[in-house]
Amino acid sequence: MREYVDEGETDVTTDDAAAPWLIAGLGNPGPEYAMNRHNVGFMVADLLAERVGGRFKRAGKAQAQVVEGRIGPPGPASRRVIVVKPMSFMNLSGGPVNALREFYKVPVAHVVAVHDELDIDYGTLRLKLGGGDNGHNGLKSMTKAFGREYHRARFGIGRPPGRMQVADYVLRDFSSAERKELDYFVDRAADAVECLVIEGLERAQGTYNS
């Protein structure tokens, strides 16, 4: 992997089909957060890194971990991807993601944020392009950094039970019952992201949105 070096702001305006894709799994760094609902984006990113045969490395001065690789069948149909885990904590995700987006010359429309979503039932997946942040601090930070017209892979975690505060809920580990299906749902989310990158949003939505 070539080393990230901060070369200052770069205007990335191309939306060339050959441009790389940047897949940002959102979460919080540190073992105490590893199995939190808020960290499902990291879980999907870890699986995608494993699939491309890479290991996360620190991205130079960028506050993130990065894996570079290709997905899809060998040949012209494969796509170059940069899988990113921001190490800045959730509410500051936009800075590291944008720095790497500029460095790798990734159009905004080739960015995919993989994140937890409160307003979707557990395990349900929804893919979309653009839209609001729905109170999600990671998305809010990314939108502030480079606009809203990036893709989102929304992994449903459901609403907190009773009167539990949202912050407490998302920063708790998945329950024992949820963990029984978690690997399957993470695997399916990784499949959906690959489909989005290789075959496009409409095909991916038709196959994986539920």
Measured CA distances, 188 to 75, 99, 105, 191, 193 (Å):
24, 29, 28, 5, 9
Q: Which of 38, 110, 136, 151 is catalytic?
A: 38
Helices (H), the chain: 40-51, 94-103, 137-146, 166-170, 176-199, 201-208
In 3D, which of 79, 112, 117, 72 has the Cα closest to residue 210?
Answer: 117
State the virtual CA torsion across 119, 169, 208, 56 in degrees, nearest 10: 140
Q: What is d(CA 114, CA 190) in angstroms, rounded to the nearest whole number?
A: 9
> Is 38 marked active-site?
yes
Q: What amino acid positions are annotated as catalytic residues?
A: 38
